Amino acid sequence: MQALSGERLLAACEQAQGEHALLQAITLLAAVLPECDRAELLRLPITERNRLLLQLRQLSFGPVLEGYADCTRCGAAMEFSLSVADALAGMDEIQAPTSVDWTDQDIPLHLRQATTVDLLASIDAPTTEQAEARLLTRCLGLDELVDDVAQRITMPSARAQFEQIHAAGELHCTLRCPHCMEEETWELDVSHYVWQEARHAAHRLLTDIHTLALHYGWSESDIARMSQPRRNAYLELLSA
């Protein structure tokens, strides 16, 4: 995996800017994994996709995830900090399978983890319930739940199995409000979080390029190829 920096960062964010949120994460991964076909990345199980995104984040933007959430009780801001290494270790500890087999109402069923392709196929459903049903049927390997099968399959059973095999791909943070002491558990959307950080890093790089090009006349590519510490050194000289 290559670091998402310099011209690679700018090109990836430019391409992803107009894409659906589900595709933005794939575009970032394609930029740092040139040996992988985009279609292959789209078919990755969500847990594996999130693992790669965390590795991208650690390599490109540092070893600690930081952010904040608003307390749902009093509205105060709650900060969080989480080591990427700890998050990856937690995924390994859960060891959730990528698929599961079980029998429901005497019907043998096989459920696999969802992929980005599955999620994209479910987003245009009219309701949340229909989107969930479409996602489950795809992961069950069924084109649709015909009436006689639908009547015999207990959907809560399929949902429970779905949650179990996706447990390793979910990232939760427990936060305690410093004002009202309310404790809440928040789920961190890994793909959205990494995309926001990539977009912020690209904006910062463009700002640096503008400032340095304006004062020194260097080209965009020359400045983008510099390391961040080198750019920071020149920016400090300009502000001295």
Tens digits of residue pLDDT in 206-219: 999 999 999 999 99
In the chain, the number of structural domains is: 2
Identify whether residues 226 and 208 lie together within a single domain: yes
pLDDT given for residue 6 in this prediction: 96
pLDDT given for residue 231 in this prediction: 95
Residue range 115-165, pLDDT digits in tens: 999 999 999 988 888 888 889 889 988 765 544 454 455 678 888 999 999
Q: How far apart are CA 136 and CA 181, in angstroms?
A: 38
Average of per-residue pLDDT across 84-88: 92
Identify whether residues 12 and 36 lie together within a single domain: yes
The position carrying tokens 């608003």 is: 70
Q: Which domain holds residue 157?
A: 97-165
Identify whether residues 87 and 205 lie together within a single domain: yes
pLDDT given for residue 21 in this prediction: 93
Residue 179 lies in a domain: no
Identify whether residues 155 and 214 lie together within a single domain: no
**Average pLDDT over the chain, rounded to whole?**
89
Burial 186-206 (b: 16+ CB within 10 A, else e): eebebbebbbebbbebbeebb
- Asked which of 112, 133, 165 is the last residue of a domain, the reply is 165
Residue 77 lies in a domain: no
Identify whether residues 88 and 194 lie together within a single domain: yes
Residue 208 lies in a domain: yes
Identify whether residues 37 and 108 lie together within a single domain: no
Residue 19 lies in a domain: yes
Element (H, E) at 111: strand 107-112
Q: What does R_g of the chain's alpha carbons equal in angstroms?
A: 22
Q: Is the pLDDT of residue 93 over 50?
A: yes
Residue range 162-199, pLDDT digits in tens: 999 998 888 877 888 888 888 888 788 999 999 999 99
CB 41 within 8 A of CB 54: no
Tell me the backbone φ, ψ of residue 37, rounded to 5 degrees.
Answer: -70, 140
More confident residue, 29 or 128: 29
Identify whether residues 14 and 87 lie together within a single domain: yes
Identify whether residues 89 and 205 lie together within a single domain: yes
